[in-house]
């Protein structure tokens, strides 16, 4: 009757959400069906969370007639499969009124999906921003701390969940108050923090309605954008929180220097054994730096021991000239990630874009390293606590590359990467301003403005 969808379309959909080799996705899809078949044969029923239950039903033999000759025959019993959709799916389907002729809804185009993703990024962002950061931290940790295998990214692309248990803080997001599957993620926590089940059961009409005011917002914000850009990219490398703005009405608050925050971050990370990265949030009020954590490209479970850093980085290299770390080479082996390499060689994982930037031609996806290749580990002129200007620009460039890559792949952390870039060197972002996608930047800047609803001090 209507639009028929075949395997290829499904694969396209999956790849759009999780940029993965098509071959792998296809094999997985076929395996899943095989497994369901085997499960049916073994148990008679297979349940898929948040989708439904397949169950074999044996039909009873019955009498019938041969329609051609009219002679009575016995139709033998057979096995068929019944499918019972899960409650969420049923409710979503029933929520939409039945129309005599359902209007053919246009398939979500790529650009639409992207803009939706952008909106959701904003939602995440605005959740993170309110001053009461403590409330939102756990959720962020859940998202950010994930070991982030390459597929784990892009949680928000899946349409929003109707999960009623979405955290109340999400309601603060006024741009797009769509509840995110945060509750679920929190449950899945660190080891599995992937999109999990995002049943994305959502009638497209409501989605469209909800999107309409958003674009109205952005349209009216087109004027504000110039001002915002000036505020954001011109003077201060960091955004003022309302509190700091109130505290120092006369002079612009110096933003927390990146060096300082990275220092405290690395200290905390090392003291907590790299586990409690959440505490680093205090040091960097701007945004969760973990959000742009490079995923563990190859599984960290293997955790191959890294070769020891060249002659005890910190102390050894301190005397020799001004370089904190002398450039070296590293051959990627299983378990390596940029994050891990940076932690190992520089003592601060947050400097990973430095390596990314130096190996731009070898790495396309910062979350995915190919083992066997040799990377240059670029030199570091000063310790992570006092980065030199050149290093900072390199790192910012690395973060900027990450932003571009993430943005082009619809990664939800794109803006965090951009913010990080700005944190390390606002000039780099300014110079490459033409590469920014302003249509989406508007959204994020708007989101940043959200908490600033307190009266702004008058500035002369």
Task: Kindly identify the residues of this chain, within the stretch 116-175, that bind another protein according to CB under 8 A.
Answer: 147, 149, 151-152, 158-159
Segment near another protein (CB under 8 A); pick from 97-105, 313-321, 419-427, 446-454: 97-105
Total chain residues near another protein (CB under 8 A): 81
Enumerate the H helices of 129-249 as residue ranges: 133-144, 182-192, 204-229, 242-247
Q: How far is the CB of 162 from another protein (least distance, A)?
A: 11
Q: How far is the CB of 136 from another protein (least distance, A)?
A: 24
Phi, psi of 98 (to 5 degrees): -80, 125
DSSP state of 234: I
Q: How far is the CB of 184 from another protein (least distance, A)?
A: 11
Task: List Cβ neighbours of 126 (8 Å cut-off, separation of 6 or more).
Answer: 172, 173, 174, 175, 447, 450
Cα(344)–Cα(266) distance, integer angstroms = 12
Segment near another protein (CB under 8 A); pick from 41-49, 64-72, 263-271, 306-314: 41-49
**Of 59, 165, 192, 376, the one binding another protein by CB under 8 A:** 192
**Of 162, 196, 288, 289, the one binding another protein by CB under 8 A:** 196
Q: Indicate left, alpha or beta for 443 from its phi (over 0: left) and psi (-120 to 50: alpha).
A: alpha
**Of 22, 43, 131, 438, the one binding another protein by CB under 8 A:** 43
Cα(367)–Cα(153) distance, integer angstroms = 9
194 binds another protein (CB under 8 A): yes
Bridge partners of residue 375, in order along the sequence? 330
Interface positions, 11-30, toward another protein (CB under 8 A): 13-14, 17-18, 20, 24-25, 27-29
Q: Is 101 helix (H, G, I), strand (E, B) or coil?
A: coil
Segment near another protein (CB under 8 A); pick from 35-43, 229-237, 324-332, 419-427: 35-43
Bridge partners of residue 82, in order along the sequence? 55
What x/- string results for residues 50 through 79 when contact with another protein is judged by CB under 8 A?
Answer: xxx-x-x-x-------------------xx
Q: Quick one: 158 or 172, whose CB is closer to another protein?
A: 158
**Do the Cβ atoms of 201 and 96 come closer than 8 Å?**
no
**Of 73, 75, 102, 272, the one binding another protein by CB under 8 A:** 102
Tell me the two tokens of residue 446: 């708007």
Phi, psi of 380 (to 5 degrees): -125, 125
**Of 130, 203, 242, 318, the one binding another protein by CB under 8 A:** 203
Tell me the two tokens of residue 84: 């019972």
Q: Count the residues in the chain.
A: 460
Interface positions, 228-257, toward another protein (CB under 8 A): none
93 binds another protein (CB under 8 A): yes
Q: Quick one: 13 or 427, whose CB is closer to another protein?
A: 13
**Do the Cβ atoms of 169 and 123 come closer than 8 Å?**
no
Q: Quick one: 66 or 301, whose CB is closer to another protein?
A: 301
39 binds another protein (CB under 8 A): yes
């Amino acid at each position: 009757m209507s639009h028929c969808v075949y395997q290829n379309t499904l694969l396209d959909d999956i790849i759009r959400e999780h940029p993965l080799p098509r071959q792998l996705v296809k094999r997985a899809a076929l395996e899943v069906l095989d497994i369901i078949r085997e499960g049916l044969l073994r148990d008679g029923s297979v349940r898929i969370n948040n989708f439904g239950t397949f169950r074999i039903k044996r039909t009873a033999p019955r009498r019938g007639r041969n329609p051609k000759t009219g002679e009575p025959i016995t139709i033998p019993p057979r096995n068929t499969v019944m499918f019972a959709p899960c409650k969420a799916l049923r409710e979503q389907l029933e929520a939409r009124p039945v129309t005599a002729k359902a209007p053919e809804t246009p398939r979500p185009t790529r650009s639409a999906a992207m803009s939706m993703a952008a909106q959701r990024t904003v939602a995440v962002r605005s959740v993170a921003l309110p001053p009461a950061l403590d409330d939102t931290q756990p959720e962020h940790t859940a998202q950010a701390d994930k070991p982030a295998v390459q597929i784990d990214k892009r949680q928000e692309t899946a349409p929003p969940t109707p999960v009623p248990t979405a955290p109340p803080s999400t309601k603060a997001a006024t741009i797009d108050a769509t509840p995110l599957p945060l509750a679920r993620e929190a449950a899945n926590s660190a080891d599995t923090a992937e999109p999990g089940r995002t049943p994305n059961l959502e009638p497209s009409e409501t989605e469209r309605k909800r999107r309409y005011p958003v674009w109205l917002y952005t349209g009216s914000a087109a004027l504000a954008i110039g001002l915002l850009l000036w505020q954001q990219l011109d003077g201060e490398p960091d955004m003022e929180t309302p509190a700091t703005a109130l505290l120092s009405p006369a002079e612009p608050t110096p933003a927390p220097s990146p060096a300082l925050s990275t220092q405290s971050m690395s200290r905390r990370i090392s003291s907590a054994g790299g586990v409690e990265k959440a505490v680093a949030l205090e040091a960097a009020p701007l945004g969760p730096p973990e959000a742009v954590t490079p995923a563990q490209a190859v599984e960290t479970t293997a955790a191959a021991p890294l070769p020891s850093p060249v002659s005890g980085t910190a102390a050894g290299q301190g005397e020799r000239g001004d370089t904190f770390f002398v450039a070296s080479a590293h051959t990627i082996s299983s378990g390596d990630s940029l994050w891990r390499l940076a932690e190992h060689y520089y003592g601060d994982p947050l400097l990973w874009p430095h390596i990314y930037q130096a190996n731009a031609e070898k790495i396309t996806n910062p979350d995915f390293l190919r083992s066997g290749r040799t990377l240059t580990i670029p030199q570091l002129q000063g310790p992570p606590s006092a980065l030199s200007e050149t290093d900072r620009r390199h790192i910012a460039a690395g973060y900027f590359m990450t932003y571009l890559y993430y943005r082009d792949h619809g990664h939800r952390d794109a803006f965090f990467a951009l913010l990080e870039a700005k944190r390390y060197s606002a000039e780099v972002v300014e110079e490459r301003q033409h590469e920014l996608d302003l249509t989406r930047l508007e959204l994020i800047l708007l989101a940043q403005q959200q908490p600033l609803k307190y009266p702004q001090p008058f500035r002369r």
